[in-house]
Structure 1
Amino acid sequence: MGPHALARQAAESLKATLRDGVIAPGLSSHILEGPDGGKMFGVLVVRQRDGRLGVLRAFSAMLAGRWDVPGFVPPLFDREARARVEPVAETTVKALLARAQALGTSEELLRLRADDEARQANEATEREALRQRHEDRRRQRHARRAEVRAATTPTDPVRAEALHALDQESRGDKAEKRRWEEAQQEARRDLISRRAKAERRLEALDRLRSIVSRGFMKQIHDTYAITNARGETRPLRALYGGAEPPSGAGDCAGAKLLAHAFAHGLQPVALAEFWWGTPPDSGGRIRGAFYPACRDKCRPLLPFMLEGLEVSAPRLFVPPPSPMLALSIVFEDEWLVVIDKPCGLLSVPGRDAALADSVLTRLRARHPRSTGPLLVHRLDLDTSGLILAALDARTHASLQRQFLHRFVEKRYVAIIDGLVRGESGPITLPLRVDLNDRPRQIVDPLHGKPAVTDWKVLHREAGRTRVALYPRTGRTHQLRAHAAHPQGLGAPILGDRLYGHADSRLFLHAEILSFEHPVTGRRMSFTSAAPF
């Protein structure tokens, strides 16, 4: 898995230059370590007209505010056409943004917001005071009704008169609350109306800026003409099925490299893209790691550009032959099975026939008459260690409830490909799938699902750290993503081909599993020593 050997060699050469602190003469690679973060770089091995091989280099979008950097291919838009659009667009959008900012911070709007917030706070205080006063009166009336009933008979006219008076007091409280609500509504009407009017002006200005920005973006997209290996050319916007291309379409390293090769009669041979510098806030990028082309920008673009070339089939990850991987049964009774899964064996079968072998497949062959087996949880293909299965549906449901309510204790051991700072702590980074690069997970505070991992350093040696990991939630790739993220452990697990760099294996092992037996009620704990 990974780029072609020629592309990898070309990429390693560029990485060595970046590692030495140089992007181009007068431009240091240290700019990739700042708050703006790192960047995707690409290399394209090409065959020149005389048959010799050469290498083109590119970066995504702009670098240090520049489209053109010596030693890297230029952008693929029409410079003259863009020069006619971009200055006007920038000036117009900046002016609208300045107007919106001025209105959003105007004395009038700030005063209206402050007055409205103060009114709301005062209204809430008065409402609570009124509610408490009425509640006190209600309790008093309740006690007085009890006293009247105790001191009089049902036919006593004194009782009827006293209870009627108490009912009148209750109606009086309701009338008081109604008058108060009406007074508040009258008081808020003018202020809310004036604030809403000012807010609508701000929203209208924001909408106008958005409309104008989209209009200019269409004009900018029209400065891109995309050519393929056959020499056919199409406008950028024609390649996105009627939808507007996403921001940055046509500016990725791969598209730049192919466009430059076609324009100069060079034959593309091998392409690779990698990340260099500070990872993005979402994580999912490691310095020097190779990544495929993004889906939203490049998926509609690159297939057209590659038309006319003989393109190799995708270099997909193929797991090692699994029949040679032994499945160790740690514990087994008539209700459940605890297995020690080897690295490289799937938990459940894949869709492809070549991926039919798995823990579940083998358990079903072992228990052909059982209503199960059913896996209670899973481990990644690359992760080894303890995994739990139930032999019937009732046991499965009971064990799943224990996982849901976090009664199950799990401990993993991992080797981190770097020195972890600190000795222990929690990682609370919400995760979701990277829509541009499934199944990789990224951190997303807004749309991500809560994910919590506790960790503890066990040992440090030779630039690596052995840690214990305690997942409190069970998100996909949680331990791997939490380890690699800068706000997590700050370095990937050794051998992580998705979040770091491939090695002989992924050094992640589920070593302790503890749960309550769903039938006997006995607490059970199992340990599997890490094979590394």
Structure 2
Amino acid sequence: MSHFRTSFFHPLENNLGINLPDKFTFPFYYEPHPLSVLAAKQLQNYLETQTDFTHNFGLNPNQSGLIIGKMFGVMVVKNTEGTLGYLAAFSGKLADSNHLKGFVPTVYNTLNEAGFYKKGETQLNAINTQIEILEQAPAFKMAQTNVLNSKIAFTEALNVLKAEIKAEKQNRNQQREAGKQSMSPEVYEKFIETLNQQSIGYQIRLKHLKKDGEQRIQEAESHLNSLKQPIKELKTKRAALSASLQKRIHEQYQFLNANGDTKDLLAIFKNTTSPIPPAGSGECAAPKLFQYAYENKLQPIAMAEFWWGASPKSEVRKHQQFYPSCRSKCEPILGHMMQGLVVDDNPIEDQIIFNQALDIVYEDAHLLLVNKPHEFLSVPGKNISESVLSRMQQYLPHATGPLLVHRLDMSTSGLLLVAKSQRVYKHLQKQFIERSVKKRYVALLDGVLPNTEGTINLPLRVDLDNRPQQLVCYAHGKPATTNYQVIAAENGKTRIYFYPITGRTHQLRVHAAHSEGLKTPIVGDDLYGTKANRLHLHAERISFTHPITKEGLTVSCEVPF
């Protein structure tokens, strides 16, 4: 399929035998329904062969231009005649446009040349040009230089005089001591008066120097401020225009839901932790799909979003792989837009039921090591109270201190170190801070590695749009280092040892999956790879110094996969 239909409703071909889902897709954590997979495949076939637009996704090494991968969305819908089809959308702009044939339109078109946004943008650009002209003017540059030179000259002159005053003071002190031995009292008294007058003279010189220097600086700054005043007024005008423009844009983004109710961005984000909508709110694929479906009496059945193109430098994004909707921008919007739909439950909020006793691998009077099951929290979460910590509080009712010395991701299984007293906790925590605790993880990677061992250095920070996912960020990320060693290759997969030097959130998962890391996600990684029966990552061994006996202790547990 090299061309898209002119209409936005695309027939869902070859869907015979696929049952409709009972509920609509929960967009923030899902496995794509077979109908969504079928729709996505049809859209991907189009993207592979289309000639309707030009955009460098980074898939063709011979194509020039800035490489920009893109998130696409498909929504399976049923029209009023009962026919199944799908809608397609892209996040943000594609090929520098909001509107492309076959893709549903944006909720509000900011690129409309006749619209208020483009007119306001033109006004802002004009103000920016005026500001730039004034700031680059020779008179303004000269005034800035004069202020700087006046301050430098004053500081240098002040330092020179202070050094002279200090040297002369030492000289006078020496003269006083010598005068005591060689002068008569009458002569010495007059001599001391002369020295005192010299000291007063220096203080007067210092006072005049400060007064003159500060006056020159003040005159230079006053002149500069007079030149700054029109710039300041333009910046105030720019800020007011920008705020007014932003408010009008937020009001233009009107979102429907299944009940027929409408809310704009300001109303949607009003009671969130960020009342001001983040930049780009409403421009993702999912809101566009819902809006078009509701406006055209189409019943939403299921949806999915996938990445198309080269992986960006920061996020873990794999070509053709499905991903959830972003949380910071889309969660409040979709929370409104899905009202009136029967939607799958949020699996993340389900209480984890683990009826078995936790496996305690090692225990003495001072500490213990527990083998945490996968999909079980280390500490209580926002909506889930059951955790290793809550179990340990029950198991050790008389223990003091925080108990858990470190944590594991919910999806990771393996060894957790538990202290039975505040004293033991502090000793163990100090070892973690000093990085003398050695940990070894076993993972199964979804692919074969070219190297048998190595080191990964990729700094990490939280993805503010998609907590708790992490980004590689060289500007603001915390250093994260992982050593690795291949154990064996098995049926196109690699069993590997990970030796984390640092302990950042999701460190091993990102280092495995990222394009600048191993480029091979861990099997079952539902955040950075493909979901399976479990995340194949296990904290298998830990070595540390016993806080009481001072002996080295190494504890291992069996790998469950």
TM-score range, shorter chain: 0.7 to 0.9
SS at structure 2 position matched to 1:229? coil
What is the identity, as a one-letter code, of the residue corresponding to 1:213? S
Listed as ranges, the gaps of 5+ residues in structure 1 are: none
2-structure distance, mates of 1:81, 1:177: 66
The 5 Å alignment of 1:154-169 reads none
Q: How many residues are aligned here?
A: 521
- 8 Å Cα contact 2:482/2:499 also seen in 1: yes
1-structure distance, mates of 2:554, 2:118: 68
Q: Per-residue deviation at 1:374?
A: 0.5
Please give the TM-score of this superposition, normalised by the length of structure 1.
0.79
Q: Per-residue deviation at 1:50?
A: 2.8
- 8 Å Cα contact 1:45/1:271 also seen in 2: yes
- 1:398 is the counterpart of 2:427: yes
Q: Which residue does the alignment assign to 1:307?
A: 339
- 1:74 is the counterpart of 2:101: no
Q: Please provide the CA RMSD for this pair.
A: 4.5
Per-residue Cα deviation, 1:367-409 (whole angstroms, up to 9, x for no partner): 4443367011111122233322111122213322333454544
- 1:519 is the counterpart of 2:541: no
Q: Which residue does the alignment assign to 1:187?
A: 216
- 1:257 is the counterpart of 2:289: yes
- 8 Å Cα contact 1:374/1:392 also seen in 2: yes
The 5 Å alignment of 1:43-82 reads 43-77=74-108
- 1:333 is the counterpart of 2:352: no
Q: Which residue does the alignment assign to 1:212?
A: 241
Per-residue Cα deviation, 1:38-65 (whole angstroms, up to 9, x for no partner): 2322111111223232111111222111
1-structure distance, mates of 2:523, 2:82: 40
Among 79, 99, 123, the residue aligned to 1:92: 123
2-structure distance, mates of 1:489, 1:397: 35
What is the identity, as a one-letter code, of the residue corresponding to 1:45? V
Q: Per-residue deviation at 1:267?
A: 0.8
**C-alpha distance 363-296 of structure 1, shift in aligned 2 (>3 A):** closer
1-structure distance, mates of 2:138, 2:450: 49
Q: Per-residue deviation at 1:451?
A: 1.9
SS at structure 2 position matched to 1:452? coil
Q: Which residue does the alignment assign to 1:477?
A: 506
SS at structure 1 position matched to 2:409? coil
- 8 Å Cα contact 1:337/1:390 also seen in 2: yes
29-38 or 198-207, larger mean C-alpha shift: 29-38
SS at structure 2 position matched to 1:268? strand
**C-alpha distance 75-378 of structure 1, shift in aligned 2 (>3 A):** same
Q: Which residue does the alignment assign to 1:429?
A: 459
Q: Which residue does the alignment assign to 1:454?
A: 481
Among 502, 515, 518, the residue aligned to 2:531: 502
SS at structure 1 position matched to 2:57? helix
- 8 Å Cα contact 1:6/1:45 also seen in 2: no
Q: Which residue does the alignment assign to 2:132?
A: 101
Q: Per-residue deviation at 1:120?
A: 4.7
Q: Per-residue deviation at 1:16?
A: 4.0
What is the identity, as a one-letter code, of the residue corresponding to 1:9? V
- 8 Å Cα contact 2:76/2:84 also seen in 1: yes
Listed as ranges, the gaps of 5+ residues in structure 2 are: 1-28
Per-residue Cα deviation, 1:95-114 (whole angstroms, up to 9, x for no partner): 22222232333333333334
1-structure distance, mates of 2:194, 2:224: 45
Per-residue Cα deviation, 1:130-186 (whole angstroms, up to 9, x for no partner): 666666677x579959x949x97xxx9999999998888777776665544434322
1-structure distance, mates of 2:460, 2:484: 22
1-structure distance, mates of 2:153, 2:59: 51
Q: Percent identity?
A: 33
436-445 or 77-86, larger mean C-alpha shift: 77-86
- 8 Å Cα contact 1:325/1:342 also seen in 2: no
SS at structure 2 position matched to 1:307? coil
Please give the TM-score of this superposition, normalised by the length of structure 2.
0.75
- 1:2 is the counterpart of 2:30: yes
- 8 Å Cα contact 2:435/2:501 also seen in 1: no
495-504 or 213-222, larger mean C-alpha shift: 213-222
What is the identity, as a one-letter code, of the residue corresponding to 1:316? I
- 8 Å Cα contact 1:340/1:528 also seen in 2: yes
1-structure distance, mates of 2:126, 2:87: 39
2-structure distance, mates of 1:522, 1:56: 64
- 8 Å Cα contact 2:327/2:467 also seen in 1: no
- 1:17 is the counterpart of 2:45: yes
513-522 or 25-34, larger mean C-alpha shift: 25-34
SS at structure 2 position matched to 1:62? coil
487-496 or 209-218, larger mean C-alpha shift: 487-496
Q: Which residue does the alignment assign to 1:30?
A: 57
Q: Per-residue deviation at 1:32?
A: 8.1
1-structure distance, mates of 2:216, 2:94: 56
**C-alpha distance 79-374 of structure 1, shift in aligned 2 (>3 A):** closer
